[in-house]
Structure 1
Amino acid sequence: MNAKVAKDAEIFITFASEMISINNLTFEIGSRALYDEANWHIKPGDKAGLIGANGAGKSTLLKLIVGDYSPTSGSISMAKDLKIGYLNQDLLSYHSDKSILHVAMEAFERQNQLHTEIENLLKKLETDYSDDILNKLSDKQTEFEALDGYSIEFRAHEILAGLGFSEEEQKRPLATFSGGWRMRVMLARILLQTPDILLLDEPTNHLDLPSIKWLENYLQAFEGAIIIVSHDRYFLDRIINKTVESRKGKLTLYAGNYSFYLEEKSMREEIQSNQYKNQQAKIKQEERLIERFRSKASKAKMVQSRIKALDRMEKVDEVDDDNPEVNFSFKFSKPSGRHVVTVENISKSYPNLEILKDTDALIEKGDKIALIGANGKGKSTLLRIVADADKEYQGKSTKGHNVSQTFFAQHQLEALHLENSILQELVAFAPKHTETELRSILGCFLFTGDDVFKKIKVLSGGEKSRVALAKALTADANFLVLDEPTNHLDMASVNILIQALQQYEGTFVVVSHDRYFLENIANKIWFIEDKQIKEYPGTYQEYEEWSSKRVSKPQPAEAKKIKEEPKKEKAPITEDSKRILAKKNKELGNLEEKIATQDKLVKDLEVELAKEEIYSDAVKLQEHTRNYNSEKATLDHLQADWEKLAEEIMELEG
C-alpha cells in the first residue's frame, strides 16, 4: 500500500467513526460571531449534553446541524444516509385535526405507504385473482412484515402512554390539546422514527415528573447518539456521557456527565487562574524592566527584544465567574403568624373530572413546600386555591395573621406594563429597594448594563418571565406562591433563584418539575393522591427514596392528611372579646415596633463585629460579643412574645 492510499484509508476510517464532524465552524449574526472556528466530532454512541448560558448559541447549533442555517465559514459533515430526529420548540406550530395516535404513527412513513398499498391490493383481489395481483400483494406483505409493520400501532400506543396519554386521549384530535401536550406528541413521533441520532432541544420543558422519568429510561436504552440541550441537570446526569460547553464562540468537550463537568471545569479554572496570575506577574516584571532601561541607548536592543517577546506572548484569559454568589436583600415589613394558610374540606371538580375531595391542609410559618406530581392531578388548581386566585370550589381556605402574599405564574406576564422599561417596572413595584439593589437583582436574571432600560413590550416571552420573577422576589411578602418559576431560566439563573430562596426567611409553596431545584429549596413535599393532599416531611431526595420503596398506596401512617385536628365550632364574638381583641392588637403593634428597633440594633452590632479593629483586639471582641449576645437574646424574647400574642389573637378571631 503506497503512502497516498494509506492516507486516504486513514481519512476514511476517521470519518466513518464519526456521525457528524464540525470543523472550524464560524457563524455570524450581524457583526457578532456566535461561533468562531468551533470544532466538535460526534461519534456513534455519544450521548452529549450541549450546555451554556442563554444566548450562547445552543439551539442555533442544532439548526446549523440540520441545515436550517448555513455556516458563515467552516463545515459540518455527516455520515452518508444519517437519519436525524430533531425536536425543537418550532414544532408547537404543527397543526392536525387527526388523532394523536395517527399523528404519532406518521413516523412510519414507509410502513404507512405499504399498508395503504396492501389495502388497495386486497380490494382489487375481490374481483381480480390474477397472479400479478397475488405476487404484488405477497411482496408488499413481506416487506411490511420485515419492517415490523404489524407492531407499529402497539409501539405508538406504548410511547404515547409513557408520555402521559391515556387510551381515550390517544383517540382525540391533536388540535384539541394545549401546546405542551402537542409537543409531547411531536416527541413521540420523533422517538418512533428510531433515528441514528436524536437532537433534543429542551425536551423536558412540557413534561411532568412521571413523563420525565419515563423519557430518561427510554433514552438510557436508546442505541443511537443523542445531543440534548437542557437546563435540567438531573435529567442530563442520568443520560449523557459527554458534556459540551458552548461559550465565547467555542465548543469545549468534557468526558463525563454534568456533575463531572462541574468538577472538571472547577479544576481547569483553578489551573487557568494560577497560570493567569503567574503570567500577569511575569508581564509586570518585564514591563518594569523595559521601563527602567528604555532610555538607555546601550540597552535598546535588549528592550526591543523584550517588547517583541511580550507582543508574541499567548495571553492566558482571566477566569470569568459564571456562577456568582448573590446576596438578596428580602424585605417584608411584618412576619406572619404561625399558621400561614389553613385549607379545610376543600373539594374541586371540573366537568367529568374530580380533582380534590373533602381534603385538608396546613401551611405553617417557615414551610418551604414543593408541590409535585403528574400533570392533570390538580397541582396548579391547588396552588391557585392556596393563593386565592381560584374561588370556584367547596370548602374554606383561610390566610393566617399578618400574611402578605405574592403569586408568580406564567400568565401574570400579561400584568407587566408594556411601556415601562424593565427598571421602571421594578422601581414602581418595589419602592423600598434602592435602584442599585434592583439592578443587582435584574443582573442575576440576565439583565445587565443598558438591558435594564429596554421596554417591556420589546422583550421575548422568556425575558418577560424573568422580569415577572424578579418582581415576585422584590415584593413586600412573607409568603410566596410560585408556579414553574424555573421555566425560561438557564442553569446559572436557576442557581441564582436557588440561592435567593435559600436566603428567604418567609414561607413558600412552589410547583416545579426541576428536581435539582426542588432538592435544594424544599423542606416538605406535597402531592395529590386519591383526591387528597398528602405530605412527606423531608427533602425531595428523601421523598424519592421513600416513594420508590412503596409497594402499595400509602396508609395513613405513611402519608397522612396534613391537617387532622378536630374541627372547632366558631364561637360568637362578644363585646368583651372585641375589647380584648382591640387591646391585644394594639399590644401586637407596639411589639412589632420594638422588634423592628431591636432588629436594627442587632444588625448594627453584627456590622461592628465584622470590623477588623474589633475582631483583631481580643478585649474589644469579648466586650462586643457579650453585648451582641445580650441584645440578640432580647430580640429572641420579643419575637417569642409576638408569636404567643399572635396565636392568642387568632384564637379570639376564631
Structure 2
Amino acid sequence: MIAINNLTFEIGARALYDEANWHIKPGDKVGLIGANGTGKTTLLRMIVGEYTPTSGTISMAKDIKIGYLNQDLLSYESEKSILHVAMEAFERQNQLHTEIENLLKKMETDYSEELINKLSDKQSEFEALDGYSIEYRAHEILAGLGFDDEQQTRKLSEFSGGWRMRVMLARILLQAPDILLLDEPTNHLDLPSIKWLETYLQAFEGAIVIVSHDRYFLDRVINKTVESRKGKLTLYAGNYSFYLEEKALRNEIQAGQFKNQQAKIKQEERLIERFRAKASKAKMAQSRIKALERMDRVDDVDDDNPTVNFSFKFSKQSGRHVVRMEHITKSYPGVPILSNANGVIEKGDKIALIGANGKGKSTLLRIIANADKDFTGKTETGHNVSTTFFAQHQLEALHLENEILQELQAFAPKHTETELRSILGCFLFTGDDAFKKIRVLSGGEKSRVALAKALTADANFLILDEPTNHLDIQSVNILIQALQQFEGTLITVSHDRYFLDSVANKIWYIENQEIKEYPGTYQEYEEWQSKRPVVKEKQTVQVQPKKEESKKVVPAVNEVADRNKQLQKLNKELESLEQKVTKLEEELAAIEKVLADQVIYNNPSKLKETNDQYNRKKGELAEHQTKWEILAEEILVLGN
C-alpha cells in the first residue's frame, strides 16, 4: 500500500531519519509512537508529500486516497454551516447535485431529448454514488462527534478551534479514504466522542496510522505499533500494551547480550595486555586486536522511562475537609450548569471530574478554585488549605524572557537549584535545556514548564484542568508518577483515561445539574456505568405546548429571542476582543524586535522604558485572552 525504503530526512546537521524502512499494508491499524522530536508528524507530512526526504523513497499507488488530520486544520475558515463543511467531503456528489439542479432549471423551458438523457445520466451516477444519503451520513458522523441538530446548522466560524477540528475530522471520515493519517485525533475530543471514534475506527475497513499520546485509545484501535526512535522505525506486531511487553523482553535480551559481550571484550583486552610485550605472542596479540576492532558492538539499553526522583514539599497539612460546597447554582444565560448542587472534597481525595464538553467541568473547577464567584450558594475552604490551580491559559503567564530554571526559581525560592534541576529533568529538560528561554519553547514544552511550576508550589491541594494536553506518553507517565507520590489532595479534568485510572481514587460527574460521586477508580466506574440503566437528563429546552395551552408560547418565543439577542451581543464583544488581542500581539512582536537589537542596551533609560512597556502590554494581553476564553465558553454554552 505504502512502502518506505531507506528513508533519510535531515534538518541541518541532524538526521531525523536515517535509512528507515516501513511497509504499510491494507487493513493495517498502526500506532506511530515515540518521544516528542523524533519526527512522527514529519513522517506523516512526508507521506502526503508536504516534505521531501533527503534520500530514500516513499512509494504508493497513484490512485490511493489519503485522509490526513493535522493540527494545521485549526486555521480553516468558512462562513458556511458545519454540516455544509462536512459535506464538502463528497466532491463528486456535490458537483453532480449542482449539475442536476441546473438541468432541472433548464428543463422548465427546454424539453429536448438530449437534455433529458443528460439528466438521466447524471441522476444515475448520483444514485450510484449514494448521493441521496450523504446528508444523513454527515449528520450521523457529526452527531457522533458531539454536534446536536441545532449546532450542525451554525457557521463554522462561530466555533472555537477544538470544535472546528472535530468538523475537519468529520469531513475526513466522510471521504472514506483508503488510509487515514491521524495526528493526535483525541486532543480536542471529550470522553463520549473519543469512545465513538474508537468504535468507528475499529470498524473502518481501510488502513490507519495514528499518532497519539492516549494509551487507552491506541490499545482499542490499533493492531500494530511502530516506534520512531534514533532515526529508525521499529515494528511491533500488536497494540500499545503488546509493544510495552515486547519491548521490555527485547531490552532484556539486548541487556544480556551487551553484558556478555562486555565480559568477552574485557577478557580479550586482558589477554592482549598479557601477550603484547612477549615477542613470541606479539602476532597473536595483533590478531586479537583486529578481531576486537571488527566486532559488531551491541549497544547498552537506554532508559526511555525516566522516573520521578523528587518528593513534594508543603509546609502544612490541611484539615480533614478541604472544600465544602453547599446549594451551588450556576448558569449561563438560558443554560443551567449546576442547580442546588452539593459536594465535599476531603483530605487525601484524588478526584477525576469527567463528562462531556459543555457539562460544566471547567466551570466547577473555577468555582472550587475561587476563580469564579458568579454563582449562588456557598463554598468553604478548609483549615490550612493551600491551593495551586493549573489551567491551559496559565501557559500565557510564563515570563517569556526568563530561562526555564529562572522561571522555577522565581516561583519556588525555597527549593535548591539541585532540586529544581531534578524536577526539570523529570519533565525532560536535561543539561543545558534548563537555560532555554521560555519564548523559544513549543506549546508542549511550555505546558511541561507550567506543570513543573505547579508541582513545586507549596500547595497541599492541586486543581488541574486538562494537564495532559500537549504531553507525550513519556511526560504523561512522569506526571502520573509525581501525582501518585503526592500526599495531598487533588481534583483533575482530563480526557486521558489511562491518566485518570492511574491517579484517581474517586470519580465525580455532573448529572441533572448535580455533582455525583463514584467511590472508586476510573476503570471501576466504567464497569459500573456500563451496567447502569440510562439516566434521563432534565430537559433544559422549552417543550412545544398543546393547542389549549397556546398562550404559553409567548414566553418561549421571548426566551429564544432574548437568547439570540444575548448571543449577538456576546459575539460582538468577542469580535472586539479578538481585534484587541491581535493588535496587542503585533505590538509585542514589534517591542521584541527592539529588545533583540543590541543598540538599546547602550541606553539604560530607554531599555527600562521599553521593558516597562513590554511588561504592561504583556499583562494587557493575558487579561484580554482570559476574557476571551470566558466569553467564548459563554457563547458556546448559550448556543447549545
The match for 1:466 among 448, 459, 481 is 448
Match of 1:150 among 118, 132, 135: 132
1:177 aligns with one of 149, 159, 167: 159
Within the candidate set 287, 290, 294, 1:312 is matched to 294
Q: Is 192-201 or 410-419 further displaced after alignment?
A: 410-419
Q: Could you say which residue in structure 2 is the equivalent of 1:108?
A: 90
2: CA distance, partners of 1:552 / 1:446: 44
Query: In the aligned structure 1, how far is the partner of 2:231 from the partner of 2:293?
Result: 24
SS at match of 1:280: helix
1:457 matched residue in structure 2:
439
Q: 1:371-412 deviations in whole A, cap 9, x for unaligned? A: 000000000000110011111111111100000000000001
In structure 2, give the amino acid aligned to 1:191.
L
Deviations 1:508-543 (CA, angstroms, capped at 9, x unpaired): 000000000000100000000111110001000010
Query: 2:16 maps to which residue?
Result: 34
- Select 1:276's aligned residue among 252, 258, 266: 258
Match of 1:79 among 45, 54, 61: 61
Displacement of 1:428 after TM fit? 1.2
**Alignment partner of 2:189 out of 207, 229, 234:** 207
1:552 positional shift: 3.0
Instruction: Specify the structure having the higher radius of gyration (Cα).
Output: 1
Amino acid at match of 1:497: L
Structure 1: gaps (5+ residues):
1-18, 556-654
Post-superposition CA distance 1:434-454 (Å, at most 9, x none): 111111111111211111101
Write out aligned runs for 1:435-584 (5 A): 435-553=417-535
Q: CA deviation at 1:501?
A: 0.5
SS at match of 1:168: helix
1:476-513 alpha-carbon deviations (Å, 9 max, x no partner): 00000000111111111111111110000000000000
**Amino acid corresponding to residue 273 of structure 1 in structure 2:** A
- CA distance in 1 between counterparts of 2:507 and 2:29 reads 32
CA–CA separation in structure 2 for the residues paired with 1:371 and 1:203? 22
1:330 pairs with 291, 312, 323, which one? 312
Q: Which residue of 2 aligns with 1:421?
A: 403
AA at the equivalent of 2:20: A
Distance 1:519 1:554, change over 3 A: farther
* Structure-1 residue corresponding to 2:610: none
| Equivalent residue number for residue 263 of structure 1 | 245
CA distance in structure 1 between the partners assigned to 2:108 and 2:493 by the alignment: 59
Deviations 1:122-168 (A, max 9, x none): 00000000001100000000000000000000000000000000100
Correspondence 1:382 to 2:361: no
Counterpart CA distance in 2 for 1:134 and 1:38 is 57
Q: Which residue of 2 aligns with 1:397?
A: 379
Choose from 237, 246, 249 the match for 2:228: 246
Shift of 1:71: 0.5
**Which residue matches 1:61?**
43
Conservation of the 8 A alpha-carbon contact between 1:86 and 1:190:
yes
Deviations 1:266-308 (A, max 9, x none): 0000000000000011111111111222222222221221111
Contact 2:309–2:422, Cα closer than 8 Å, also in 1: no
- The code of the aligned residue for 2:48 comes to V
Whole-Å separation in 1 of the counterparts to 2:182 and 2:253: 33
Matched residue, 1:235: 217
Q: Which amino acid aligns with 1:387?
A: A
Letter in 2 for 1:382: L
Contact 1:328 1:503 (C-alpha < 8 Å) held by counterparts: no
**CA offset digits 1:409-431 (Å, max 9, x no partner):** 00011211122110011011112
1:69 and 1:300 mapped to 2: Cα distance?
55
Matched with 1:434 is 416
Counterpart secondary structure, 2:146: coil
Q: Equivalents in 2 of 1:238, 1:333: separation in Å?
A: 43
Q: Which residue of 255, 259, 277 maps to 1:295?
A: 277
Out of 26, 30, 45, the position equivalent to 1:48 is: 30
User: What are the Cα deviations for residues 176-205 of structure 1, in whole angstroms up to 9, with x where unaligned?
Assistant: 100000000000000000000000000000
Q: Distance in 2 between matches of 1:471 and 1:554?
A: 42
2:198 corresponds to 1:216: yes
In structure 1, distance between residues paired with 2:400 and 2:62: 50
Deviation (angstroms), 1:327: 2.6
Partner of 1:345: 327
In structure 2, distance between residues paired with 1:527 and 1:92: 29
Query: 322-331 or 35-44: which moved more?
Result: 322-331
Moved more, 434-443 or 195-204: 434-443
Q: Give me the whole-angstrom Cα distance separating, in 2, the residues matched to 1:121 and 1:490.
A: 54
Is the 2:389–2:463 Cα contact (8 Å) retained in structure 1? yes
Question: What does residue 91 of structure 1 align with?
Answer: 73
Distance 2:261 2:434 in 1: 36
Could you tell me how far apart the structure 1 residues matched to 2:188 and 2:339 are?
A: 27
Distance in structure 2 (CA, Å) of the matches to 1:300 and 1:22:
49
Aligned equivalents of 1:32, 1:55: Cα separation in 2: 12
User: What TM-score comes out, normalization by structure 2 length?
Assistant: 0.83
Counterpart of 2:228 in structure 1: which amino acid?
A: S
Distance 2:120 2:218 in 1: 46
Superposed CA deviations along residues 44-69 of structure 1, whole A, max 9, x for unmatched, are 01000000001111111100100110
Tell me the distance in 2 between the aligned counterparts of 1:486 and 1:160: 25
Q: Determine the C-alpha separation between the residues in 2 that align with 1:50 and 1:345.
A: 48
User: Which shows bigger deviation, 245-254 or 393-402?
Assistant: 393-402
**Matched AA of 2:120:** S
The change in CA–CA distance for 1:401 and 1:554 in structure 2 (over 3 A counts) is farther
Please say if 1:120 is aligned against 2:102: yes
Aligned-partner Cα distance in 2 for 1:554–1:531: 12
From 318, 333, 340, the equivalent of 1:358 is 340
Post-superposition shift, 1:245? Answer: 0.4
Coordinate RMSD, CA, aligned: 1.0
Q: Normalising by structure 1, what TM-score?
A: 0.81
Verify the 8 A CA contact 1:409 1:482 in the aligned structure 2: yes
Q: Distance in 1 between matches of 2:246 and 2:511?
A: 42
- Would you say how many aligned residue pairs link Structure 1 and Structure 2? 537
String of CA shifts for 1:31-84, please: whole Å, max 9, x gaps.
000000000001001000000001111111100100110010110000231100
Shift of 1:554: 8.5
Deviation per CA, 1:548-598, whole angstroms, max 9, x where unpaired? 11113289xxxxxxxxxxxxxxxxxxxxxxxxxxxxxxxxxxxxxxxxxxx
SS at match of 1:75: strand
SS for the counterpart of 2:149 is coil
